[in-house]
Structure 1
Amino acid sequence: MLSGLGLDETCGAVYQAVLFSPGGATPDGIAADLRVPVAEVRDGLARLRELGLVRPIFEAAGAFRAVSPAVGFAPLIARAEAEASARSRAVAAARAHVEEMASRFGTAPHDRGGDSAVLLGEAEAWEAVQQVAEDVKTCVRVFAAAGPAPGLSAENYDPAHRLAVRAVERGAEVRLIVLDSVRSAPDVLEGVRWMSSKGVTVRSVPALPAWMFLVDDSYTLMALDPAGYRAGVIAFRAPGPMAAARDLFDRRWAAGCCLGEDPEPAEERPTAQQNEVLRLLAEGAKDEAVARCMGVSTRTVRRLIADIGERLGAESRFQIAVRATERGWLR
């Protein structure tokens, strides 16, 4: 109870032992009463004497008498109150300084440009992605494209998974679109299923253009380079780009499959992956670009193209395009 005034437990007990011994108390007697070593009692008495709480009785060698609590503790209490007041003023000053810095700096990197687009490098990109889980109020919509999340230095999705669950725990709806290719990546699929078990709504599609985070209808973060996680992100709030990002997400979400569903349609139609390959090839994308967009290897893309050619009886990519259009696979 007296630690706030500079007395430890032993000193407090020794003081009370002396206080309740009107005729005075000796170290040996106090040690016997408290059942502590006499050396500790002597140290306690020395500290109490230093603080002006006990005085030696000169007519009784080795004995001590307590100074009245009202008199002895008054200066200690006054000093403690002064220190507490000074500490309180220091904390208030520090709070004001932090608030002033925050008003000049912005609450997060993506806030610095208002409605203007803001480019953030690798370090700030991950800071901004982390801030998403704290900013979201109703819903965050995420494209989990191929490769690591912006700002992460390795193809490790766990930190992003934890952020998604953090947003759910704060009461937000999280809609996550992943690539169909995660179904053949056990480690990644395990993380996606863990998020789903925690309340994240997940759908998969054959391909995604880039990592994207659409936070409420407030702002969007989008990877600058789909092939380079170190390039950072672009953050924007302007209504036009926000509407385009929302439309892009909603279209992919409507076309996506839940994890428990088969992403491949009926046998007479191309699979979802084959359909995406056809679309990207028709746009002139090279095999490497198709592979990056779909989160698969170039070898897988070439196998898909070969399978399409076999189904269509086509021997070249030109013939594939023609016959796919004839069958209504390409529009």
Structure 2
Amino acid sequence: MGRSKDSASGFAELDDVSASAYGQAVRLGMFDHAAISENLALSPSETVRAERVLRHLRLLQPMPGDPSVLVPVGPDVAAADLVGAAERQIRDLQNAVTDVRTRLMSLTPLYFEGRRERNRVEAFDLISDPALVQSMIDERRQHCRSELLIVQPGGPRPAEVLPAARESAQEMLERGVRLRTLYQHTARSDLPTRSYVRDVTAAGAEVRTADEVIDRIFIYDREIAFLPERVDCQDQVPGAAVVREPTLVSFLCNVFEYLWDGATPFEPETARTPTTDSGVKHSILRLMSKGYKDEMVARRLGMSVRTCRRHIAEITEELEATSRFQAGFNVAMSGMLDVRDHELI
């Protein structure tokens, strides 16, 4: 037979003997020691222990008017009686934590404004809390005056974020903010992303794509930039480095302009785009020639590993190669990588 013990939560656990004794008490309408001992073949000490466990779990309670008689109550009543106080304490703690967090977070703008005024030499702040980063981005978007530059790697945008992104972009464009965004070529094949680009470009935004881009960047009014925090685990949601130092921000703007000049306008209605076979395969060949594995090639080009491997299989077949090594050798001998990207698109 199992024995009851206290769990990590501090509440007793219901063992098999006590559960059986509870079932007998429900049938009898009371906790009758003699009857329960006889029906379950329990020793007197085992019956007393079962009573103690059930009373501790509030499953047995004194009969009104006769406290010497213990009667069973429903599990829902026992649970409410047993954990009600703990639940109230948890709710109070949660409310207190929320209140403290809200009060402290309200000081965030004051903190950064004070730091900027106190020490102009400070180049950036590293914010590891993604929620705080999003809050700061939202605040910057609302106060953006003239220009927002965005680099969005990784291919298509997640469909669930596009409605909010569309509303945000249109609101900024209506205020006269110039909005320029860089995606990767693979974003062109995604219907939700194409629909989003169609709407925002119609409202005045400018969107271009390239086969490869750098990490995600947001630059507001050429004064402040958000860069992704470096994380050790790919599953970890990164925070951001918030850059304010004018020289660094200017450098990032120059990097954006360099990428922008070499990118291709994203015209959603255009039938043929740089994601057609020749352009994609040329990019894959170039990365394969550098020794990148399938996963890294896919990540660099913003496509799934499955799609990347399908392209690699087609390339291998077209080159009449039986392996990646032979495909790379055939490419090197043919001089295919010497052809400029725009000639392949």
Query: Is 1:250 aligned to residue 257 of structure 2?
Result: yes
1:195 pairs with one of 178, 190, 200 = 200
Relative distance call for 1:301 and 1:101 in structure 2 (3 A) is closer
The CA distance in 2 between the partners of 1:225 and 1:113, in whole Å, is: 25
8 Å contact kept, 2:148–2:221: yes
DSSP 3-state at the match of 2:337: coil
Matches within 5 A, 1:209-224: 209-224=214-229
1:237 pairs with one of 239, 244, 256 = 244
Q: Tell me the amino acid that sits aligned with residue 222 of structure 1.
A: L
Greater CA drift, 199-208 or 168-177: 199-208
8 Å contact kept, 2:123–2:245: yes
| Alignment-derived partner of residue 172 in structure 2 | 167
The CA distance in 2 between the partners of 1:158 and 1:113, in whole Å, is: 39
8 Å contact kept, 2:166–2:196: yes
| Alignment-derived partner of residue 111 in structure 2 | 105
| Alignment-derived partner of residue 186 in structure 1 | 191
Matches within 5 A, 1:272-287: 272-287=279-294
Indicate the structure (1 or 2) with the bigger Cα radius of gyration. Answer: 1
| Alignment-derived partner of residue 288 in structure 1 | 295
| Alignment-derived partner of residue 157 in structure 1 | 162
Question: What 5-or-longer segments of structure 2 have no aligned partner?
Answer: 1-105, 340-345
Relative distance call for 1:103 and 1:155 in structure 2 (3 A) is closer
**How much has 1:174 moved relative to structure 2?**
0.6
1:177 pairs with one of 173, 182, 193 = 182
**How much has 1:246 moved relative to structure 2?**
2.5
The CA distance in 1 between the partners of 2:160 and 2:134, in whole Å, is: 14
What TM-score do the two structures reach when normalised by structure 2? Answer: 0.55
Runs of 4+ off more than 6 Å? 108-113
| Alignment-derived partner of residue 137 in structure 2 | 129
**How much has 1:218 moved relative to structure 2?**
1.2
Matches within 5 A, 1:82-101: none
The CA distance in 2 between the partners of 1:179 and 1:307, in whole Å, is: 21
The CA distance in 2 between the partners of 1:197 and 1:109, in whole Å, is: 40
Q: Tell me the amino acid that sits aligned with residue 220 of structure 2.
A: V
The CA distance in 1 between the partners of 2:284 and 2:174, in whole Å, is: 37
Relative distance call for 1:216 and 1:285 in structure 2 (3 A) is farther
Greater CA drift, 253-262 or 224-233: 224-233
Report the aligned-residue RMSD.
Answer: 3.7
Relative distance call for 1:118 and 1:298 in structure 2 (3 A) is same
DSSP 3-state at the match of 1:329: helix
Cα distance per residue 1:9-39 (max 9 Å; x no partner)? xxxxxxxxxxxxxxxxxxxxxxxxxxxxxxx
Q: Once the two structures are aligned, what percentage of the paired residues are identical?
A: 23
| Alignment-derived partner of residue 61 in structure 1 | none
DSSP 3-state at the match of 2:219: strand
Relative distance call for 1:284 and 1:116 in structure 2 (3 A) is farther
| Alignment-derived partner of residue 259 in structure 1 | 266
Relative distance call for 1:101 and 1:299 in structure 2 (3 A) is closer
The CA distance in 2 between the partners of 1:289 and 1:109, in whole Å, is: 39
**How much has 1:328 moved relative to structure 2?**
4.5
**How much has 1:162 moved relative to structure 2?**
2.6
Cα distance per residue 1:265-303 (max 9 Å; x no partner)? 9x9xx7222232233334443322322333321011111
8 Å contact kept, 1:140–1:175: yes
Relative distance call for 1:102 and 1:234 in structure 2 (3 A) is closer
Aligned residue pair count: 226
